[in-house]
């Protein structure tokens, strides 16, 4: 596995070694020892989540507040997404900044997103399946969100879709607060 720090250094791109032959491929999708060695701490992943989305579905931007803040390890099993992580740590030098990248089933790349980031993704293909590990259980009371279209953050989700495709969001994701309104 290869680990690379992104523009916001706490976000980590992970590229697994994929072994292909005439039968298909094999890869290790997660190694606690290698990830822990790179991070300098060991996330205790306790829950796996998976979603299936149609092209144009935007999920996010989501996070959980303390005491259920989550580190996440995100990957795509089928299809392709634009994955986005927004730094919402109030004392961070990169507060309000985001990183976006393509994750797909072909490259098998993953992203580690630490607690203190809002996370979301846009499905670029039908039948996109996204899976992620978290190190704190889901808590409805601690579930929070951030406006996907917050002008202070400036994510241009529409640039990734053709003109004939529109964003599809849940009612909840259409009505999240702006960055300046949240308290983590």
The DSSP string of the chain is -EEEE-SSTTSEEEE--EEEETTEEEE----HHHHHHHHTS-----EEEEEEE-TTBEEEEEEE-TTS---EEEEEEESEEEEEEEE--TT-TTTT-EEEEEEETTT--EEEE-TTEEEEEEE-STTEEEEEEESS---GGGEEE--TT-TTT---GGGGS-TT---B--HHHHTPPPGGG---
Tokens of 179: 């960055």
Strand partners, 73: 112, 133
Q: What pLDDT, on a 0 to 100 scale, did the predictor assign at position 29?
A: 94
Tokens of 156: 């241009």
Question: Per residue in 124-175, pLDDT tens?
Answer: 999 999 999 999 999 999 999 999 999 999 999 999 888 888 999 999 999 9
pLDDT at 184: 67
Span 106-125, average pLDDT: 97
Rounded to a whole number of angstroms, the distance between the first and last alpha carbons of the chain is 33
Fold of 45-181: Jelly Rolls (2.60.120)
**Is residue 118 predicted with pLDDT exceeding 70?**
yes
Domain residue spans in the chain?
A: 45-181
pLDDT in tens, 50-98: 999 999 999 999 999 999 999 999 999 999 999 999 999 999 999 999 9
Q: What tens digit of pLDDT does each residue of 164-181 get?
A: 889 999 999 999 999 999
Q: What is the pLDDT of residue 17?
A: 94
Residues recognised as catalytic: 62, 132
């Amino acid at each position: 596995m290869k680990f690379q720090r992104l523009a916001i250094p706490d976000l980590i791109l992970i590229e697994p070694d994929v072994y292909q032959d005439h039968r298909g491929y094999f890869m290790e999708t997660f190694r606690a020892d290698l990830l822990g060695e790179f991070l300098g701490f060991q996330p205790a992943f306790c829950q796996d989540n998976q979603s299936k989305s149609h092209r144009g579905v935007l999920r996010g931007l989501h996070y959980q507040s303390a005491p259920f803040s989550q580190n996440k390890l995100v990957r795509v099993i089928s299809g392709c997404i634009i994955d986005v992580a927004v730094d919402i740590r109030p004392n961070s030098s990169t507060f309000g900044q985001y990183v976006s990248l393509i994750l797909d089933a072909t490259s098998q790349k993953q992203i580690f997103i630490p607690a203190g980031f809002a996370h979301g993704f846009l499905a670029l293909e039908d039948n996109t399946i996204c899976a992620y590990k978290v190190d704190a259980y889901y808590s409805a009371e601690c579930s929070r969100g951030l406006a996907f279209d917050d002008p202070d953050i400036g994510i241009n989700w529409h640039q990734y879709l053709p003109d004939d495709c529109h964003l599809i969001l849940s009612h909840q994701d259409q009505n999240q607060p702006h960055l300046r309104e949240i308290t983590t």
